[in-house]
Amino acid sequence: MSMSKPDKKIIEKIKNLREQINYHNYRYYVLDSPQISDAEYDRLFDQLVELEKRYPELITPDSPTQRVGAAPLQEFKTVRHSLPMLSLNKATSDEEFLDFHRRVLELSGVGEKRIKYTVEPKFDGLAVELIYRKGILAVGSTRGDGVVGEDVTQNLKTIKTIPLRLFGKNLPELIEVRGEVIMNKDDFERLNREREKAGEALFANPRNAAAGSVRQLDSKITSSRPLNMFAYGTGRVEGKKLTNHWESIQFLKDLGFKVSQYVELCQNVDQVKAYYHRLAKIRNDLPYEIDGIVIKVNEFALQEKLGELSRSPRWAVAWKFPPQQETTRVKDIIVSVGRTGALTPVAMLEPVRVGGVEVSRATLHNEDEVQKKDVRIGDTVVIQRAGDVIPEVVKVIHSRRTGKEKKFIMPQRCPVCGSRVERPEGEAIHRCTGIACPAQIKENLAHFVSKGAMDMDGLGYKFLEQMVDKKLIKDQADLYFLKKEDVMKMDRMGDKLAENILSAIDKSRRPSLTNLIYALGIRNVGYHLAGVLAKNFKSIDNLARQSVEDLTRVHEIGPIVAQSIYNFFHNPKNLKILEKLKKGGVKFPTEKAEAKKTPLSGKTFVLTGGLDSFTRDEARKIIEDLGGRVSSSVSKNTDFVVVGKDPGSKYDKALKLGVKTINEEEFKKLIGRQ
Ligand code: IVH
């Protein structure tokens, strides 16, 4: 409710403040060259907040005050990309790049001189798409599988290098902008240091940190993370003619996007090669991670002629850099105990920066690997980080041996609980045989509460560790019997935090079947297989009844997985935990609740006019079967109006309200009947 009616002057003032704030935001975040002090910026911002408080009816979604403020979501809606977001073929050497170039020449049928390439860094982050209608950010989504992504609009709005409103006059009616959300290396390290202090799980690399931050249901969390976006291309564009990639990059820059200062237009392959080697040299000095360069045929007409092959364009290639290597010393080799009791030797290193990220441990996988590489305590070794994997030891530099190095011996007793260690025949892994090994319990708990499993927000590793050490929980099910006074026994626990933890536990009492199966931590059953099992067996009770033979009948379930599932449900200890989970109030879902998510799930449709391929009733049934709803009248809550022949007034109403209309063809595509 406004306290008074805004007059023209107020409207003008608000518009003016927004323009100024947007401009200074751009100077600060995109150009890295602020024109006013932070204090002045804050003053402008506060003035706008104040005016919007007085005249809430004047708040628009593109106001700079609206970057944070949306309520947390229950789940992400899906977004179908109007043009698929493709992936890239890879080259790893000069020859492979030249092979690509030869194919381009051959298939395009034009002479060498006509082919120019734009070259740019290959950012190592998360691909997103932003849709701007009339210059205003309408939808932001992740790449997903390239066809369907997740609607992360409110999260992307918190990223300051993403304009909420585009700059300039004569803006295109519609433009889809594609780019990469990244986190700078130093921001990543700071974030991990903070997380370590708080006892939260660490991110493996800046890419995971960026992706994890964008895929938060609560945009306030995203907003607290230092993220950036580089725009590197367009999808659909209406109302502006672009003829080549170079031009579109310049256009994106004019619209207010951050584009890489390293984009170049190369006239021939030698220039491309020189660019590759130049970027390989400076990659470590860049504030963010890049894992190669992307080479794109510049002319759109040629791109179209070349087309695509199985989800990768024939007009572009990613020329990757070799993995980053560094030399350092092994201070010690320790053994870590995982969730399944597996003992992994880990090299503790003299900290060293690899590709700009500090590394202090590297996995040695298993005993055989240590023997094969002959890694000893005190050795100087070459380690490498290849993309997302945990660093590993590549080789020992024998010439640096002094004779004082110590050989590693796999312990015979678990370093955590002291139980006997065994190495089952035919396996490379040693395992702790202890049934109450605290390391296994802690790892199991950490898995149980994680995303994709029971998803209990705010229960960090340190918290679970203390719970186990203080003997407040012995297994996963014990979490559901915790009382506030138990939680209050933890270090640095406050009233509010304890309540949040209990509420996160409570919320997890209604998992999906897939999440529940995954959470159980059955050996060899990851998230994907959990989904396969949920779909095929429809309930935990039914899954528990299957024989090894029954299980192997399922596509994707091999004998080893089948045996682990069988063993899991025939271990009395696990059955006891299942019973206890039920007693603790966890609802074991059955198939009905496990409706498959489709692009129609939760969407409201209105049908108007005649369809060629279906009667009204058939169309209604299809929509409902796919999780949508059919309503008889159009409102602003309608998601789609399906417009057939001779539509009625519902069509006019949809246009008036700006509700999305689709024709029969588009409808058929949406329901997958084409
Ligand atoms: S262009 C066909 N340009 O690489 C066009 N992609 O493997 C495909 N990426 O999912 C995208 N930097 O996340 C393009 N300068 C760049 C890029 C880039 C990073 C990522 C992007 C995409 C993946 C494709």
- For 634-653, write each residue's pLDDT tens digit: 888 889 999 988 888 888 88
Q: Is residue 277 part of a domain?
A: yes
* Distances 605 to 203, 385, 618, 642 between C-alpha atoms, Å: 41, 49, 14, 7
d(CA 189, CA 183): 10
Instruction: Among 550, 583, 616, give the residue marking a domain's end.
Output: 583
Q: Is residue 78 part of a domain?
A: no
CB atoms within 10 A of CB 375: 22
pLDDT digits (tens, 9 = 90+) for 475-501: 999 999 999 999 999 988 889 999 999
Q: Which of 22-26, 71-75, 398-402, 550-554 is predicted with the least confidence, judged by mean pLDDT?
A: 71-75
DSSP-assigned beta bridge partners for residue 349: 330
d(CA 655, CA 84): 27
197: phi then psi, degrees, rounded to nearest 5? -60, -40
d(CA 251, CA 128): 18
The best mutation among 81, 83, 87, 88 to test binding of ligand 1, ranked by most ligand atoms within 8 Å of the C-beta, falls on: 88
Residue with tokens 């190095």: 405
Catalytic option among 122, 157, 160, 185 = 122
The best mutation among 81, 87, 177 to test binding of ligand 1, ranked by most ligand atoms within 8 Å of the C-beta, falls on: 87
The CA 293 to ligand 1 mean position distance, Å, reads 9
pLDDT for residue 2:
47
* Contact call for residues 477 and 216 (beta carbons, < 8 A): no
The CA 182 to ligand 1 mean position distance, Å, reads 12
Q: Say which CATH number the domain at 529 has.
A: 1.10.150.20
Assess whether 135 and 260 both reside in one domain: yes
For ligand 1, say whether the CB of 120 is within 6 Å of any of its atoms.
Answer: yes
Alpha helices in 199-333 (DSSP H): 206-214, 219-223, 245-255, 269-282, 300-306
For ligand 1, say whether the CB of 87 is within 6 Å of any of its atoms.
Answer: yes
The best mutation among 128, 229, 294 to test binding of ligand 1, ranked by most ligand atoms within 8 Å of the C-beta, falls on: 294
pLDDT for residue 656:
87
Residue with tokens 């019997």: 481
For ligand 1, say whether the CB of 230 is within 6 Å of any of its atoms.
Answer: no
Mean pLDDT across the chain: 91
Assess whether 400 and 541 both reside in one domain: no
Query: Which residue minimizes the CA distance to atom 24 of ligand 1?
Result: 87
The CA 294 to ligand 1 mean position distance, Å, reads 7
- Average of per-residue pLDDT across 313-324: 93
Assess whether 442 and 345 both reside in one domain: no
Whether 555 shows a pLDDT value over 90: the answer reads no
Q: Say which CATH number the domain at 636 has.
A: 3.40.50.10190
Query: Which residue minimizes the CA distance to atom 3 of ligand 1?
Result: 232
Ligand 1 atom nearest to 316, measured from its CA: 2
For ligand 1, say whether the CB of 521 is within 6 Å of any of its atoms.
Answer: no
Number of folded domains in the chain?
Answer: 6
Tell me if residue 122 is catalytic.
yes
For ligand 1, say whether the CB of 306 is within 6 Å of any of its atoms.
Answer: no
The CA 664 to ligand 1 mean position distance, Å, reads 33
Q: Is residue 593 part of a domain?
A: no
Ligand 1 atom nearest to 122, measured from its CA: 12
* Distances 416 to 255, 438, 555, 558, 618 between C-alpha atoms, Å: 57, 7, 39, 33, 62
- Identify the H or E element spanning 381: strand 380-385
For ligand 1, say whether the CB of 143 is within 6 Å of any of its atoms.
Answer: yes
Q: Say which CATH number the domain at 415 has.
A: 2.40.50.140
The CA 491 to ligand 1 mean position distance, Å, reads 45
Say whether 580 sits in a helix, a strand or coil: helix
State the chain's maximal CA–CA distance in angstroms.
Answer: 89
The CA 126 to ligand 1 mean position distance, Å, reads 9
Q: Which residue has the higher pLDDT, 204 or 577?
A: 577
The CA 88 to ligand 1 mean position distance, Å, reads 7
Query: Which residue minimizes the CA distance to atom 15 of ligand 1?
Result: 122
Query: Which residue minimizes the CA distance to atom 23 of ligand 1?
Result: 87
The CA 292 to ligand 1 mean position distance, Å, reads 10
What letter does residue 645 receive in the DSSP assignment?
A: B
384: phi then psi, degrees, rounded to nearest 5? -145, 150
Give helix 269-282 / helix 94-108 axis angle, nearest 10°: 140
Q: Is residue 53 part of a domain?
A: yes
Q: Which of 78-87, 117-126, 209-218, 647-656 is predicted with the least confidence, judged by mean pLDDT?
A: 647-656
Query: Which residue minimizes the CA distance to atom 17 of ligand 1?
Result: 122
**Among 246, 321, 322, 313, CA closest to 100:** 313
Assess whether 315 and 348 both reside in one domain: no
DSSP-assigned beta bridge partners for residue 432: 421
The CA 633 to ligand 1 mean position distance, Å, reads 42
pLDDT for residue 4:
65
Global pTM reads 0.66
For ligand 1, say whether the CB of 123 is within 6 Å of any of its atoms.
Answer: yes
Assess whether 173 and 264 both reside in one domain: yes
Assess whether 519 and 502 both reside in one domain: no
The CA 173 to ligand 1 mean position distance, Å, reads 25
Residue type, 632: S
pLDDT digits (tens, 9 = 90+) for 420-454: 999 988 888 999 988 789 999 999 999 999 988 99
Highest mean pLDDT among 202-216, 223-237, 518-532: 223-237
Ligand 1 atom nearest to 180, measured from its CA: 13
* Contact call for residues 110 and 315 (beta carbons, < 8 A): no
Q: Which of 109-123, 182-196, 366-380 is predicted with the least confidence, judged by mean pLDDT?
A: 182-196
d(CA 367, CA 547): 34
- Torsion-angle region of residue 403: left (phi > 0), alpha (psi -120 to 50) or beta? left
Assess whether 281 and 140 both reside in one domain: yes
Assess whether 103 and 198 both reside in one domain: yes
Task: Tell me how far the alpha carbon of residue 79 is from its chain's centroid.
Answer: 15
* Contact call for residues 397 and 327 (beta carbons, < 8 A): yes
Q: Is residue 208 part of a domain?
A: yes
Ligand 1 atom nearest to 121, measured from its CA: 15
Assess whether 272 and 135 both reside in one domain: yes
What is the domain extent for residue 400? 325-422
Q: Which of 155-159, 167-171, 357-361, 570-574 is predicted with the least confidence, judged by mean pLDDT?
A: 357-361
Cα-atom radius of gyration of the chain, to the nearest Å? 28
Assess whether 348 and 418 both reside in one domain: yes
For ligand 1, say whether the CB of 294 is within 6 Å of any of its atoms.
Answer: yes
Task: Tell me how far the alpha carbon of residue 113 is from its chain's centroid.
Answer: 41
88: phi then psi, degrees, rounded to nearest 5? -120, 140
Ligand 1 atom nearest to 127, measured from its CA: 13
The best mutation among 232, 275, 306 to test binding of ligand 1, ranked by most ligand atoms within 8 Å of the C-beta, falls on: 232
Ligand 1 atom nearest to 85, measured from its CA: 8
Q: Say which CATH number the domain at 275 has.
A: 3.30.470.30
DSSP-assigned beta bridge partners for residue 262: none
Q: Is residue 599 part of a domain?
A: no
d(CA 294, CA 338): 38
For ligand 1, say whether the CB of 479 is within 6 Å of any of its atoms.
Answer: no
pLDDT digits (tens, 9 = 90+) for 128-156: 999 999 999 999 999 988 899 999 999 99
Assess whether 129 and 183 both reside in one domain: yes
DSSP code string of 605-646: EEEESB-SS--HHHHHHHHHHTT-EE-SS--TT--EEEE-BS
DSSP code string of 136-157: EEEEEEE-TTSSEEEB-HHHHT
Assess whether 354 and 443 both reside in one domain: no
For ligand 1, say whether the CB of 232 is within 6 Å of any of its atoms.
Answer: yes
Exposed e or buried b for every residue in 493-524, given b needs 16+ CB within 10 A? eeeeebeebbebbeebeebbbbbbbbbbbbee
Ligand 1 atom nearest to 126, measured from its CA: 13
Instruction: Among 507, 534, 553, give the residue marking a domain's end.
Output: 507
640-643 and 660-662 beta bridge pairing: parallel
pLDDT for residue 593:
44
Q: What are the tokens at 501?
A: 């933890």
The CA 129 to ligand 1 mean position distance, Å, reads 12
For ligand 1, say whether the CB of 359 is within 6 Å of any of its atoms.
Answer: no
Q: Is residue 402 part of a domain?
A: yes
Q: Is residue 578 part of a domain?
A: yes
Query: Which residue minimizes the CA distance to atom 18 of ligand 1?
Result: 122
The CA 87 to ligand 1 mean position distance, Å, reads 7
Q: What are the tokens at 528?
A: 């994907």
* Contact call for residues 599 and 619 (beta carbons, < 8 A): no
Instruction: Among 553, 583, 613, give the residue marking a domain's end.
Output: 583
For ligand 1, say whether the CB of 180 is within 6 Å of any of its atoms.
Answer: yes
Highest mean pLDDT among 344-348, 597-601, 624-628: 344-348
Whether 14 shows a pLDDT value over 60: the answer reads yes
